Amino acid sequence: MRLRRGVAALAMMAAATSALAGCSGSDDDGIDVEPTSEAEPTSEDGLTAEEQEAVDTVETYLEALYARGTDPIAESIDGLITDEFAADLVPGEETIEADGNKRLGPYEFALDTVTVDGDEAQVVGCLDLSLSFVVPAEDTEVSGGAPVGGRSVTTYGLERVDDAWRVAYPLSEGEEC
């Protein structure tokens, strides 16, 4: 018992001595306290600001596509995707609208990775469309039919256009997640 008290006392004295040693000396004791590199700020998810912007663009795009209700696709995605991708996406979505239909039902996107390389980025995650349907525009709930899709690993390619990220393509190779 006595040995434990002695070890504890020595440990406390060593800690106190170390703490007091840090308080002694002058403010200028030759130690360089300037940072040696600039660290980029990170989000609570550990992403850099630039990576977070890319992820936010993908999430805004998904919201505009799958949760727009009866809003026209061209207005919903304006400024979110590249012109080339719009040329591919808009005609199919306008057909859904012209047929008197809309997308209904939740979607989920779970981020896996994001990489940024200059003016290009890739955001990869699991897109779950298993509860998303195309239904008549007047419907307020799903009453049957087949879902738009399932759960798949999806890669979103992004390009920086006019200092903002734009979705250039989604790529799903059918791999389930």
Q: What is the DSSP string of 122-146?
A: EEEEEEE-TT-EEEETT-SS--SS-
List the chain pLDDT tens, one digit each, 177 residues: 333 333 333 333 333 333 333 334 444 444 333 332 243 546 667 999 999 999 999 999 999 999 888 889 999 999 999 999 999 999 999 999 999 989 888 899 999 999 999 999 999 999 999 998 998 889 888 877 668 889 999 999 999 999 999 999 999 977 899
Task: Give all domains of the chain, ordered by start, each with its CATH number.
Answer: 46-172 (3.10.450.50)
Question: CA–CA distance from 132 to each of 12, 32, 78, 103, 117 (Å)?
Answer: 62, 57, 22, 7, 33
Nearest-angstrom CA–CA distance, 150 and 126: 10
Note if the pTM is more than 0.85: no
The burial of 101, by beta-carbon neighbours within 10 Å (0-12 exposed, 13-18 middle, 19 or more buried), is given as middle
